[in-house]
Structure 1
Amino acid sequence: MSDLEYQRGFRNQFATEALPGTLPEGQNSPQRCPYGLYAEQFSGSAFTAPRSHNLRSWLYRIRPSVAQSAYRPIEAGQLSTAPDTAVAADPNQMRWDPLPMPQATTDFIDGLFTMATNGDARNQAGCGVHLYAFNADMTERYFYDADGELLLVPQLGTLLLRTELGLLELAPGEIAVLPRGLKFQVRRAPDTDAARGYICENYASPFELPGLGPIGANGLANPRDFFAPTAYYEDTQGEFELIAKFGGKLWAAELDHSPLDVVAWHGNYAPYKYDLTRFNTINTVSFDHPDPSIFTVLTSPSDTAGMANIDFVIFPPRWMVAEHTFRPPYFHRNIMSEYMGLIHGTYDAKAEGFVPGGSSLHNCMSPHGPDANTFEQASTAELTPQYLGDTLAFMFESRYVFNPTPMALSADFLQSDYVDVWQGLHSHFTPNAR
């Protein structure tokens, strides 16, 4: 099989082997594994979690993960973890230009930049929002995150994710989720010089597909459109470094071999990717702009029904046909806090200033909505069917208030005049004329 073959389905019970006969028959941990391999369980849930939410995979590897040196602390660079209370949470609306591309040689780990955090990673609540920008491959370094799973949203450049469980190629317009604790490398595809994008580090319950409720059996993201990698391994000796994000800090251990040495695996705890163009958009065909929840791709539930730890929401190409309706997103104040990004094109609630690679933050109950120019145009537009084709925005929406990091608030790419986009919203009140 080729290195980039995939298995289809969302959290399926996959079984894959790079060498025939590797997977043991009838049991998970035989006295002696085929090919002299070691059996190792990789668990993403408590052992006693309900069967429907129990996440684990069995790995059959050349060396067990314990074959490494002791960890030593290293500098975390521009990476931060909740609770980060160096700066108080702020009700002001905020917007940033894209993270500048690095000039010096920078790999994925050194190119991480934390924008905001919420909740508490040690209590497995909330999330961290990071940007990445890099121009060099990880070669002798590997990484895993013990604080949360990672949702990667590329904006520029195609990534090659080399993981313990196989390879994933990830282009802008696609997303990938790397489970908590998975060891991996990030490299650039051959046609990519530099790469940039967004990351949601989910400290809480793993992402799952949202319920469909009255929508019925079909719509939004379909399970069959998610892809996990097939088994791939490398049996390589040398001097390697394994970096762990643990307890909000970075730690490093030395290895004399590549940790990507899993010859076969089976289970449902694995990395996966999804092409956002496969999202089956549900929208109004009568009147009123729908709530953004109708565009939810993945959700991390909290202990309060209907209030997600994080929702991953997209605003993809779609038809706008609502009649007698203000079609862009309405003005609103929301109990949920919203961090937005733009992958490509334009966003229909902003005339300018929100560009691909940029970000915005609207915290709990902070008012936001279309800027003055968008409001004026949408209020007088002829309401014929309109196709929004050049757009792909997304939102990390959370029940917890985001704390911007000091780095984000002092960044040169912070737009200090963002609030001015609403200053042209003057009164049109005419009490004597309807």
Structure 2
Amino acid sequence: MNMPQTDFVVAKSRAKYNEGYMPGFGNDFETEAVEGALPVGQNSPQRCPYGLYAEQLSGTPFTAPRATNERTWLYRMRPTVQHISDMLRVDFPHFRSAPTADESGLPLAPMRWDPAPIPGNAGTWLAGIRTIATGGDVLTQAGYAIHTYAVTESMETEVFYNADGEMLVVPEVGRLRFFTEMGVIDVEPGEIVVLPRGLKYKVLLNGDDAARGYICENYGGAFSVPERGPIGANCMANPRDFLTPVAAYEQKDGTRHSVMVKWCGQFHRCEIDHSPLDVVAWHGNYAPYKYNLRHYSPVGPIRNDHADPSIFTVLTAPSGEPGTANIDFVIFPPRWLVAENSFRPPWYHMNIMSEFMGLIEGVYDAKPEGFVPGGMSIHNMMLPHGPDAEAFYAASLKDLEPEKLDGTLAFMFETRFPQQLTRYAAELETLQVKYPEVWKPLQNHFDPKRPVWTGE
């Protein structure tokens, strides 16, 4: 019997824009840097291809429900038990873990900082991390730490992993390359990268002399994309825009490497005679990923009023209480404002959640003066805040037409824990000690004889 002749075209495995990555959030990926290195049909054969070792990295307990169970099988040149021999304690005094209560000595108030200059000798990733605030307790695996980083030197033969929490990195200046056990991730300002706990990696400068940005270290449940509820199946952060790297490895036998681990807030180091980034193939759903914040699809009010900032949540880390996050990552991207007869900037409020804000580019609409890229602010639990006087009067008295907020990108780490300031942050010269004065020009306009305020 003659079969019909059919002409067809086979698509390439990846689009050009995400070459070197696999798209999707929480997918079960598989990838190999050498053809045939990944076992088929089983995880741990008697003899792995190419003489590799099979090793599992678990991000959840074995018995976690299937929907939240996270694990990856790695096929590597040596097992990681060779990476923890003869460990010695080391100290990174500015890289702190919770709790850091009552260190600042500052009066209770909203706080804001100008950007800190990048020191010429900031050094490598670990040396350049500075802890700003913490909440919860690293020993109970609840809470977070918020850091800044400055990098002027690549980690050529140093490798780090964090046993305490996953790290969400927000670049603000300079490009970085994260060479991880599971592949290479290149990031630049406007993108983020998330590094799971237990993952080994080194950080390299990627074409720039220096880099600066922010880090959220999450001790709690892993970051996930938030539920959309009535919004439906689309918009906000779409899963297809998250990118996980394909397998990559380096084989450097006879080259001394330092392996450093952060465990329960303490740092340990050992020396080995090879690179631990030797994973040739892997499969699973516990992996690093990056996301381009420019792909975020915002939703908002199209008739009146200002919606809660939760509509701009990119990632959320759950707590044990439904609807209350251990920490949320929220952005304020370019968008149209069209609400009629409405005060369009964020309103004044007091919040059970605590807010850390940073600015990547442009101007934040509620703080047009004094909050610049690389700066940061903390508005703590149940402390009032909102638009400064300039923003309030401009928004209250302007003629309302559709307007585009363009060239702006701010973000917020919002947490259920109070933010405990470190001594380092309290003593920064860039602290704006007169920040609360931005609200002093607000006047009392109440007049019981005049129901409509005209701005006079």
TM-score greater than 0.5 by the shorter chain: yes
Q: CA deviation at 1:70?
A: 2.1
Partners of 2:170 and 2:331 lie apart in 1 by 11
Structure 2 counterpart of 1:62 = 77
Partners of 2:116 and 2:273 lie apart in 1 by 35
Q: Is the 8 A contact 2:92 2:126 kept in 1?
A: no
**Aligned pairs for 1:30-429 within 5 A:** 30-68=45-83, 69-87=85-103, 91-104=108-121, 106-190=123-207, 192-237=208-253, 238-429=255-446
Q: C-alpha offsets along residues 123-180 of structure 1, whole Å, 9 cap, x if unaligned?
A: 1111100000111111111111111000000000111110000000001000110000
Alpha-carbon distance change, 133 to 11 in structure 1, aligned in 2, over 3 angstroms: same
Q: CA deviation at 1:121?
A: 1.1
Report SS of the residue matched to 2:393: helix
Partners of 1:242 and 1:397 lie apart in 2 by 32
Partners of 1:321 and 1:78 lie apart in 2 by 44
Partners of 2:108 and 2:242 lie apart in 1 by 37
Q: CA deviation at 1:88?
A: 6.9
Partners of 2:286 and 2:113 lie apart in 1 by 35
Task: Indicate which of 40, 44, 58 corresponds to 1:25.
Answer: 40
Larger mean Cα displacement after TM superposition, 405-414 or 82-91 = 82-91
Task: Indicate which of 10, 21, 30 corresponds to 1:6.
Answer: 21
Partners of 2:298 and 2:306 lie apart in 1 by 14
Task: Indicate which of 30, 37, 49 corresponds to 1:15.
Answer: 30
Amino acid at match of 2:23: R
Partners of 1:432 and 1:336 lie apart in 2 by 38
Amino acid at match of 2:52: L
Amino acid at match of 2:28: Q
Amino acid at match of 1:108: W
Partners of 2:116 and 2:398 lie apart in 1 by 34
**Normalising to structure 1: TM-score of the pair?**
0.98
Amino acid at match of 1:43: S
**Normalising to structure 2: TM-score of the pair?**
0.93
Amino acid at match of 2:250: E
Partners of 1:49 and 1:253 lie apart in 2 by 32
Q: CA deviation at 1:86?
A: 4.4
Partners of 2:336 and 2:258 lie apart in 1 by 49
Report SS of the residue matched to 1:374: helix
RMSD, aligned CA? 1.4
Partners of 2:135 and 2:122 lie apart in 1 by 31
Q: CA deviation at 1:100?
A: 1.9
Q: C-alpha offsets along residues 237-259 of structure 1, whole Å, 9 cap, x if unaligned?
A: 21110111111111111111101
Report SS of the residue matched to 2:396: helix
Q: Is the 8 A contact 2:77 2:279 kept in 1?
A: yes
Alpha-carbon distance change, 137 to 88 in structure 1, aligned in 2, over 3 angstroms: closer
Partners of 1:25 and 1:348 lie apart in 2 by 53
Alpha-carbon distance change, 333 to 105 in structure 1, aligned in 2, over 3 angstroms: closer
Q: Is the 8 A contact 2:104 2:422 kept in 1?
A: no
Q: Is the 8 A contact 1:4 1:229 kept in 2?
A: no
Q: Is the 8 A contact 1:91 1:363 kept in 2?
A: no
Alpha-carbon distance change, 4 to 161 in structure 1, aligned in 2, over 3 angstroms: farther
Q: Is the 8 A contact 1:220 1:280 kept in 2?
A: yes
Q: CA deviation at 1:422?
A: 0.6
Alpha-carbon distance change, 86 to 380 in structure 1, aligned in 2, over 3 angstroms: closer
Q: Is the 8 A contact 1:99 1:133 kept in 2?
A: no
Report SS of the residue matched to 2:301: coil
Task: Give the number of the structure whose alpha-carbon radius of gyration is greater.
Answer: 2
Q: Is the 8 A contact 1:91 1:364 kept in 2?
A: no
Structure 1 counterpart of 2:8 = none
**Structure 2 unaligned spans of 5+:** 1-13, 452-456
Partners of 2:390 and 2:306 lie apart in 1 by 18
Partners of 1:56 and 1:140 lie apart in 2 by 27
Q: Is the 8 A contact 1:4 1:168 kept in 2?
A: no
Partners of 1:255 and 1:105 lie apart in 2 by 25
Q: Is the 8 A contact 2:361 2:409 kept in 1?
A: yes
Amino acid at match of 1:31: Q
**Structure 1 unaligned spans of 5+:** none
Task: State percent identity of aligned pairs.
Answer: 54
Q: C-alpha offsets along residues 255-276 of structure 1, whole Å, 9 cap, x if unaligned?
A: 1110110000000000000001
Amino acid at match of 2:144: C
Q: C-alpha offsets along residues 29-61 of structure 1, whole Å, 9 cap, x if unaligned?
A: 111100000000010001100000000000000
Partners of 2:134 and 2:121 lie apart in 1 by 27
Q: CA deviation at 1:235?
A: 0.6
Report SS of the residue matched to 1:294: helix
Amino acid at match of 2:81: V
Q: Is the 8 A contact 1:116 1:129 kept in 2?
A: yes
